[in-house]
């Protein structure tokens, strides 16, 4: 069956359909990771986005439940050059097309993903639609132009009720803006007793739980669309160790007076080199962000830059001068991706332990 | 055989974390001066200074204190003599500075006490803080570190040694059982 990708600039890509039958619209973005398609598709940060894989072949090792980053992915579509006809892995429980079908995500294969990526790099991310027939092309195109991408996606992907992820050592409150399960896994590995709160959590609600530290999770969209979280962060950072990841990082920066901007085509992939400024050490990181912190806006704030992308100089990590609060734009949980930066979770543990020690002293 | 308890990576990370804590505590790096104690403390102080400079784009002066124990390699409680200050080169005025004393291992606290005296002889700093990479316990004086890289509870029959790349060709913290004769 044929399927088409139409973009808001009028271009049409014709390919083969796989996955679900839905017609969808979203922001077309590309990811440069060579593996980890399952983690990317199930990552909530891709909510309302149509995901293009630059790697020419995906699906070759199937899908398994252990590597899912969320229970209900909100990604709007998957585009690739080729889907493996035969997938094989001892952990495989499902093939990729079957999985997409179950999750209601349409796929498009057999298009020139290199040309598409080049276009996105030149023009920036664009709105696009996956449609099943070209008969009503004019109509579909009008609809695409008229579509306003939903701004309030964080509340869409965040949990509606608090839930625990039990452990026995440190008490962590995680504010869910679209959390990847791998962040919870990293906390569980360090024996944290985690309580996950919805994105609407206020500072009072968090403090009532008497946590040792607060983690602001990753999430989709524009950090300025969650103003209540910015206020919450401002109050929390004075009282508790704070760690922000991805969207949580942008919220932390906004809370301290910095500004964010929409990047032309964002960083999505698992091979982004980041320099830790204090030591000069380079870490290869897993990233997924379409917004970033404006470097100039950091000048008059109490934040210091701790990490920077090498290719384009994007701010990738900051730290508060006066509080044990820090954040990174990339994903130290590395799912999928290089585990170079996973020790940031240990830094968060150290910050919590230190505060505990000081309180008990 | 010495056992590596903290590897090069974790040691670098601990130093970076201490650097951040120094910025946090001092609300920036205005008027900070680092003073490293004898061989390894100096290298650690220099590394912290380097990190501070990278982060804040400001040079932090590093002073050197040479304090020798009765025997440098005998970090055990059989040593009956107190550490003596051999030489101190600061090259800057420490008056009204926030001095951060840096050493590799905090043990009885006697070296730190000697260092405090030596610093006080040079001028009147606004404050003195202590940063150590390893706190191994067994204090004999009321001295406590403000910035600790790693707390390592030890027995008196053990010896902790910190290795630095500049001197020993590798980074790491090692634990060794002392020979008991």
Of A273, A23, A284, residue with least CA distance to A140: A23
- Do A139 and A193 have their domain in common? no
- Here the CATH number for the domain that contains residue B103 is 3.40.50.2020
What is the number of structural domains in chain B?
1
If one compares A26 and B77, the residue with the highest pLDDT of the two is A26
Residues A192-204 have a mean pLDDT of: 95
pLDDT at A303 over 50: yes
- Here the CATH number for the domain that contains residue A224 is 3.40.50.880
pLDDT at B74 over 60: no
Does the annotation flag A248 for ligand binding? no
pLDDT in tens, A147-192: 887 788 898 899 999 999 999 989 999 999 999 999 999 999 999 9
- Do A43 and A20 have their domain in common? yes
pLDDT score, position A152: 83
pLDDT score, position A49: 94
**Owning domain of residue A110:** 2-149
Note whether B23 contacts A304, CB cutoff 8 Å: yes
- Do A134 and A178 have their domain in common? no
- Do A11 and A80 have their domain in common? yes
Nearest C-alpha of chain A: how many angstroms from B103?
A: 19
Could you give the angle at the alpha carbon of A238 between the alpha carbons of B100 and A357, nearest 5°? Answer: 55
> Where does the pLDDT of residue B70 fall: very low under 50, low under 70, confident under 90, or very high at 90 and above?
very low
The count of other CB atoms within 10 Å of the CB of residue A357 is 11
- Do A72 and A192 have their domain in common? no
- Do A196 and A305 have their domain in common? yes
Average pLDDT, chain A: 93
pLDDT score, position A137: 82
- Do A75 and A164 have their domain in common? no
- Do A158 and A287 have their domain in common? yes
CA distances from B180 to A87, A267, A274, A298 (A): 62, 59, 49, 57
Note whether B28 contacts A278, CB cutoff 8 Å: no
pLDDT score, position B72: 44
**Owning domain of residue B139:** 3-71+79-177
- Do A58 and A108 have their domain in common? yes
Instruction: Quickly list DSSP for A66-80.
Output: GG-S-SS--B-EEEE
Provide, as residue numbers in chain A, all residues whose Cβ is less than 8 Å from the Cβ of B23: 304, 321
Top residue of A295, A321, A345 to mutate, by most chain B CBs within 10 Å, is A321
Write down which residue in A112, A129, A149 finishes a domain: A149
Nearest C-alpha of chain B: how many angstroms from A321?
A: 5
Over its C-alpha atoms, chain B yields an Rg (Å, rounded) of: 16
Percent of chain A topping pLDDT 70: 100
Write down which residue in A99, A123, A149 finishes a domain: A149
What is the number of structural domains in chain A?
2
- Do A44 and A75 have their domain in common? yes
- Here the CATH number for the domain that contains residue A14 is 3.50.30.20
Write down which residue in A99, A131, A149 finishes a domain: A149
């Amino acid at each position: 069956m044929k399927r088409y990708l139409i973009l808001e600039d009028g271009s049409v890509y014709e390919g083969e359909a796989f996955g679900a039958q839905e017609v969808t619209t979203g922001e077309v973005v590309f990811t440069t990771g060579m593996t980890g398609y399952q983690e990317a598709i199930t990552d909530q940060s891709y909510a309302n986005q149509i995901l293009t894989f630059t790697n020419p072949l995906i699906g070759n090792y199937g899908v398994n439940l252990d590597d899912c980053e969320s229970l209900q992915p909100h990604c709007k579509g998957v585009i690739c050059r080729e889907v493996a006809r035969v997938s094989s892995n001892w952990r495989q429980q499902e093939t990729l097309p079957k999985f997409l079908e179950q999750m209601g995500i349409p796929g498009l294969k057999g298009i020139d993903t290199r040309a598409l990526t080049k276009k996105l790099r030149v023009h920036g991310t664009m709105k696009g639609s996956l449609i099943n027939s070209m008969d009503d092309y004019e109509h579909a195109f009008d609809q695409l132009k008229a579509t306003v991408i939903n701004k309030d996606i964080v509340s869409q992907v965040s949990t509606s009720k608090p839930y625990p992820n039990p452990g026995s050592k440190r008490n962590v409150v995680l504010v869910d803006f679209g959390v990847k399960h791998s962040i919870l896994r990293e906390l569980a590995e360090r024996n944290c007793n985690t309580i996950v709160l919805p994105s609407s959590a206020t500072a009072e609600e968090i403090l009532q739980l008497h946590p040792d530290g607060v983690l602001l999770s990753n999430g989709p969209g524009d950090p300025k669309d969650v103003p209540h979280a910015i206020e919450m962060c401002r109050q929390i950072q004075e009282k508790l160790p704070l760690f922000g990841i991805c969207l949580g990082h942008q919220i932390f920066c906004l809370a301290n007076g910095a500004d964010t901007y929409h990047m032309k085509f964002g960083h999505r992939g698992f091979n982004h080199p980041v320099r830790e400024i204090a030591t000069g050490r380079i870490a290869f990181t897993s990233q997924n962000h379409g917004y970033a912190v404006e470097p100039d806006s950091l000048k008059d704030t109490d934040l210091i830059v701790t990490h920077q992308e090498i290719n384009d100089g994007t701010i990738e990590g900051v730290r508060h001068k006066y509080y044990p609060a820090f954040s990174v734009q990339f994903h130290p949980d590395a799912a999928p991706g290089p585990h170079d930066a996973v020790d940031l979770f240990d830094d968060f543990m150290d910050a919590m332990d230190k505060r505990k020690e000081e309180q008990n002293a | 055989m010495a056992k590596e308890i903290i590897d090069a990576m974790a040691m670098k990370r601990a130093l970076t974390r201490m650097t951040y804590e120094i910025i946090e505590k001092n609300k920036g790096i205005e008027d900070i001066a680092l003073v490293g104690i004898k061989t390894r403390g100096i290298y650690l102080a220099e590394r912290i200074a380097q990190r501070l400079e990278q982060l804040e784009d400001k040079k932090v002066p590093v002073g050197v204190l040479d304090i020798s124990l009765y025997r440098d390699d005998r970090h055990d409680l059989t040593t009956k003599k107190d550490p003596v200050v051999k030489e101190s080169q600061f090259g800057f005025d420490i008056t009204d500075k926030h001095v951060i004393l840096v050493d590799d291992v905090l043990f009885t606290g006697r070296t730190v006490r000697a260092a405090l005296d030596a610093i006080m002889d040079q001028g009147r700093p606004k404050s003195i803080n202590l940063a150590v990479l390893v706190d191994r316990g067994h204090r004999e004086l009321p001295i406590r570190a403000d910035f600790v890289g790693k707390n390592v509870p030890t027995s008196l029959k053990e010896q902790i040694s910190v290795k630095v790349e500049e001197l020993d060709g590798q980074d790491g913290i090692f634990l060794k059982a002392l020979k008991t004769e």
